[in-house]
Amino acid sequence: MKIEHIAIWVENLEVMKEFYQKYFKASAGEKYINTIKKFESYFLNFESGSRIEIMCMNGIENASKDVTRQKTGYAHLAMEVKSKEELNQMTEIFRKDGYTIAGEPRITGDGYYESVILDPENNIIELVF
């Protein structure tokens, strides 16, 4: 068995689609629109075969995006890179482009080399090698 996709509610569908396309080379499928429910989504496809569905709909309550507080549920998304050098370069690109670096590159207790960035809606993304 494998995870087919992960879904994330977002506030701005187009901004989030562009973010994943630009930084993680995702390709977006056709935009799905359900006019009755006022629901819209994209499936974002990655080279590895992994997929994320980003979804937007009126009336969805905003989650707390306070990254200093832990909570149950979605914690982070880990995106694997090919080398420490690529991880360092990507971290600097995110910094230059104005994104929050929530954790500088380091070796973690579980053996990853990682940095942590916040996406445009303050979701936590770990870059890992």
Q: Report the distance separating Cα 98 and Cα 43, nearest Å.
A: 26
Q: Report the distance separating Cα 20 and Cα 114, nearest Å.
A: 18
Q: Amino acid letter at 2?
A: K
DSSP designation for 73: S
- Please report the pLDDT score of residue 85 as a whole number: 98
**For 97, phi and psi rounded to 5 degrees?**
-80, 5
- Please report the pLDDT score of residue 73 as a whole number: 81
pTM comes to: 0.93
Q: What are the Cα distances from residue 40, in Å, to 8, 11, 99?
A: 12, 11, 25
Residues 23-59: pLDDT tens digits? 999 999 999 999 999 999 999 999 999 999 999 999 8
Three-class secondary structure of residue 117 per DSSP: strand
Residues 61-117: pLDDT tens digits? 887 777 778 777 888 999 999 999 999 999 999 999 999 999 999 999 999 999 999
